[in-house]
Amino acid sequence: MILQGGGASLWRLMDAGLLLPPTPNRDAPPRSRAERRADAQRAECAATAALNILGQKWVLRIIRALGEGTQRFCELQDALGGANSATLSQRLKLLEDEVLIDRRIISSVPPWVEYSLTAKGAELQQAIVGIDRWAERWVADQ
């Protein structure tokens, strides 16, 4: 493990907040999986956390589709061309929890819900457009 060697590089990482100091008490009870996962998530950089969300299937396509305007669930499903209803519902809930989309209930009977991008989601959509331009320029050549 890195901690045993010590050295200047280890302390630079600790000073930058990228590495936690070793635990002095070896008799402490082991931490739970949830605690370890929470510690790891806190240590991630913002870009990695964002990519964990954006890398999930359908997320980028949902953002692109909603960038064209407000859509109902079935319109989104058609725009995505084959997204499973359960998967689409999960992704929409995730994006709603991240405040990237807004879910507005129009009517409960019959069920009518509309989805649109929030300001945060619209800014993300612009970043995706930039990534698309970059990919068209550099990835398409290969």
Give the pLDDT confidence score for residue 44 in this predicted structure. Answer: 72
The CATH number corresponding to 53-138 among 3.40.47.10, 2.30.29.30, 1.10.10.10, 3.30.1490.20 equals 1.10.10.10
- DSSP codes joined into one string, 49-101: HHHHHHTSTTHHHHHHHHHT--EEHHHHHHHHTS--HHHHHHHHHHHHHTTSE
- 64: its two tokens: 């692109």
In this prediction, residue 50 carries a pLDDT of 84
**Structural domain boundaries of the chain?**
53-138
- Within 8 A by CB and 6+ apart from 18, the residues are 43
Paired strand residues for 112? 107
For the beta carbon of residue 14, count every other beta carbon within 10 angstroms.
Answer: 14
What DSSP state is assigned to residue 48?
H
Q: Can you give the pLDDT at residue 14?
A: 42
Distance (Å, whole) CA 36 – CA 42: 10
Dihedral, CA of residue 62, residue 92, residue 116 and residue 103, to nearest 10: 170
Task: Note the pTM of the prediction, 2 decimals.
Answer: 0.65
The answer to whether 101 touches 70, Cβ cutoff 8 Å, is: no
Alpha-carbon span 45 to 135, nearest angstrom: 23
Q: Write out the two tokens for 45.
A: 């950089």
Per-residue pLDDT 10s for the chain (142 aa) are 344 444 444 344 444 444 454 555 667 777 888 888 887 777 777 778 888 889 999 999 999 999 999 999 999 999 998 889 999 999 999 999 999 999 999 998 888 999 999 999 999 999 999 988 998 988 866 6
